Amino acid sequence: MESAILSGSGSLEQLLTHIILKYFIQLYCVCVVSNTLDANHMIEINFNWIHEGEKYPQMIWLKYDAQESNQSNVDDLIRMSIDSGCQAFIASPNTVIDFLDAFENVRFTSKNRYHLVHVVALPTSTDKSAEYIQEILNHPSVQDIPNILIISPSVRKNETAGDFEGRFYDLITSTFVSRYNSQDRRLLDTFDTLNERFVDNANLFPEKFSDLEGRPVRLAMLSYNPNSLWEKVPAGFGNANLVGSDEEKNMITDGTETTMITSFCDVYNCTSTIFPADGVGDWGTIEDNYTGDGVLGAVVERRADIGVGAFYLWHHEFLFLDFSMPISRSGVSCVCPKPSRRSGWFLPVEPFSIAMWNAELITFVGIFVAITIIKGLFNNVASQLDIGLYFTETVGIIMLQSININSNRMPEVILRTITLLACVLIASAYGGGLASIMTVPQFEPPIDSTHQMVLKNIEWGITDGGDAWVYDLLDATEPDLIRMVELFVTMPYKELEARIKTRDYCFVLERLRYGHYAVSDYINEESLNNLRLMRYDIYWGHCVAMFYKTWPFKSVFDLHVLHVIESGIQKFWELGAILRHSNAKVQLGISISSDREKPEPVNLSLDHVSGAFAIFGIGCTCAVVAFIIESIYYRNRKRKIFAKHMNTQSAV
């Protein structure tokens, strides 16, 4: 392609100098791309505005051999420039299509992600200018580059110099907006090289987002109440279009996140086009080769522009996609089986805690050791020590039984008196505690935290396809959270309904920002009789919208999200979605399920004293066994003594 930059490199240099100084001065880096088919001195254009010590954009000059190059080499060069921080590119006429091809290939895989890249296409010859402009505007990448500027030479009549080629430069961009002709050309201004001035003094990189004129925004979403909901309706009765359908307004969307998208389109005059997920509840996955399924797959493959559905700030997905500003705060929790009532068998041990019972055991051992030592000090003959008697005496003291303190040894009297008084106090505390819980039903400790779930080794989860619930926990290092990932189990809808009655499974839900809950249909009023909400979240995070890298609307969408949050209207969006699509009684039942209930006193029954009878039965059993063992032992001993005596008599 013959270049026109030879004929007026001085005037072109002036134009580029103006563009860089006015529009690129705040950018970090500007990249100039050319190849060997361009004029040899094109890459040597002198920018006299570069002064040592002054803060101007860095310039990177990329030149490749047009004869030996292949697209991979160009891709590597453009990727290097993007990763170096370049946000503006000046491409020669022989490289602009190669650049756009390379930009399309590398913008999704480069480390840096710039949503408003500036591209300047240098001019070609006048006779090929129209074809050159249309080839650029028809390139797929231009759909996502609002700040593109094409410099085109034009022939016009000049009152002082007459008609000649190259006297004027038309400055052209794409319309970018509109539903059907976003790639049409738009003349911004004309640069008069003779007088070194702009004809209209227009903005060469105008703002194009205030009125998108119906440009489609493809929204991938799943049906997840109350964040994102959709339903197909007759044409004209909806608020969005279905992807691939010729009908208008044949989809109606609702929910806190989809309302954010539709309100964005209301403000900026775009058209919401719905791309339903592959299946209900299908968040999807992303593979390393930039393919996937579900909502995430639709966005990473650019079948959709933006995806919503309670997406959190997932690290793996951020490697392939871009995130919006946080739309809302959400906490992941569970409804778990309500605590079951404790059996009366354990009633005798409940007045004291484990620590108190340990202290009681230590006290018993201390009393027994003290009695044994004191008895041993006053008995010179070791054979007179009766350990069994001392043990029985210690048990009697603990059980407040009468003891014989008739002794002339003062240490023994003091010890028995003090231990008796201490045991009276302990027994009184035990009796008071037992009386206070005797007629009040006692329950197992509730499940209120991840640690308690791990201790009980209870599974938790949701329906099949809900693996996204543990994405935030995959990189966790805490032992409890690692175990929680192992306990996460998904299963079909019918099996989940059956697990409600088994009392061995916790059901996932989301605690929304304004006090409501995102809950599945299998949790209904009846099932809440057996379930209660955990007091603490398993984890929490911010919900975001996800879009492909370099989506040009990111900055204006983020600004819209901040304005919505600032207004507080999301509270009414959430309440409206809950009232329209959720059971209000279920919402109320979940919110009060973790409140502490005050059980009413009950009449005493056999169950209340079953523990006492159990102790009595164990004692009787032990006594009988001991009696039998002693009887056998002494009978055998008596036989041996008798046999020995008979043998002695025979010998005599």
DSSP letter at 94 equals: T
For residues 324 and 546, give the distance between their C-alpha atoms in angstroms, rounded to a whole number: 6
Mean pLDDT value of segment 70-92: 88
Q: Locate tokens 């070194």: which residue?
A: 196
Range in 4-8, 429-433, 557-561 with the lowest mean pLDDT = 4-8
Q: 599 pLDDT exceeds 90?
A: no
The predicted structure's pLDDT at residue 396: 77
Range in 111-120, 157-166, 540-549, 628-637 with the lowest mean pLDDT = 157-166
Q: Are 152 and 123 in contact (CB under 8 A)?
A: yes
For residues 471 and 361, give the distance between their C-alpha atoms in angstroms, rounded to a whole number: 48
Percent of the chain clearing pLDDT 70 (strictly above): 86
Mean pLDDT value of segment 21-27: 89
For residues 156 and 299, give the distance between their C-alpha atoms in angstroms, rounded to a whole number: 47
Mean pLDDT value of segment 477-485: 94
- Mean of all residue pLDDT scores within the chain: 84
Q: 261 pLDDT exceeds 60?
A: yes
Q: Are 345 and 613 in contact (CB under 8 A)?
A: no
The predicted structure's pLDDT at residue 416: 76
Q: 280 pLDDT exceeds 50?
A: no
Residue type, 31: C
> Does CATH place domain 9-198 in 3.40.50.2300?
yes
pTM attached to this predicted model: 0.79
User: Domain 210-336+443-601 is classified in which CATH homologous superfamily?
Assistant: Periplasmic binding protein-like II (3.40.190.10)
Is 602 or 44 the better-scoring residue by pLDDT? Answer: 602
Q: 383 pLDDT exceeds 60?
A: no
Range in 24-38, 46-60, 611-625 with the lowest mean pLDDT = 46-60
- SS3 per-residue string spanning 238-275: CCEEECCCCCCCCEEEECHHHHHHHHHHHHHCEEEEEE
The predicted structure's pLDDT at residue 5: 46
Is 26 or 640 the better-scoring residue by pLDDT? Answer: 26
The predicted structure's pLDDT at residue 69: 57
The predicted structure's pLDDT at residue 373: 79
Helices (H) and strands (E) in the chain, counts: 17, 23
pLDDT band at 372 (very low <50, low <70, confident <90, very high): confident
Q: Of 143, 164, 167, 142, whose CA–CA distance to 153 is shortest?
A: 167
The predicted structure's pLDDT at residue 608: 65
Range in 29-38, 261-270, 555-564 with the lowest mean pLDDT = 29-38
Percent of the chain clearing pLDDT 90 (strictly above): 39
The predicted structure's pLDDT at residue 88: 94
For residues 155 and 134, give the distance between their C-alpha atoms in angstroms, rounded to a whole number: 19
Q: Which of 357-371, 435-449, 541-555 has the highest mean pLDDT?
A: 541-555
Mean pLDDT value of segment 125-146: 89
Q: Which of 97-111, 253-267, 426-440 has the highest mean pLDDT?
A: 253-267
Mean pLDDT value of segment 57-75: 79
Q: 506 pLDDT exceeds 60?
A: yes
Q: Of 354, 368, 359, whose CA–CA distance to 397 is shortest?
A: 368
Own/partner pairs for 493-502, CB < 8 Å, 24+ apart?
493/463, 493/522, 496/462, 496/463, 496/520, 496/522, 497/522, 500/527, 500/530, 500/531, 501/530
Mean pLDDT value of segment 376-404: 70
For residues 521 and 518, give the distance between their C-alpha atoms in angstroms, rounded to a whole number: 10
Q: How many CB atoms lie within 10 A of CB 480?
A: 15
pLDDT in tens, 188-230: 999 988 888 898 999 999 999 999 989 999 999 988 889 999 8
Q: Are 448 and 536 in contact (CB under 8 A)?
A: yes
Q: 132 pLDDT exceeds 70?
A: yes
pLDDT in tens, 302-331: 999 999 989 999 999 999 999 999 999 999
Structural domain spans, the chain: 9-198, 210-336+443-601, 344-438, 610-651
Q: Locate tokens 């100039």: which residue?
A: 32
The predicted structure's pLDDT at residue 648: 73
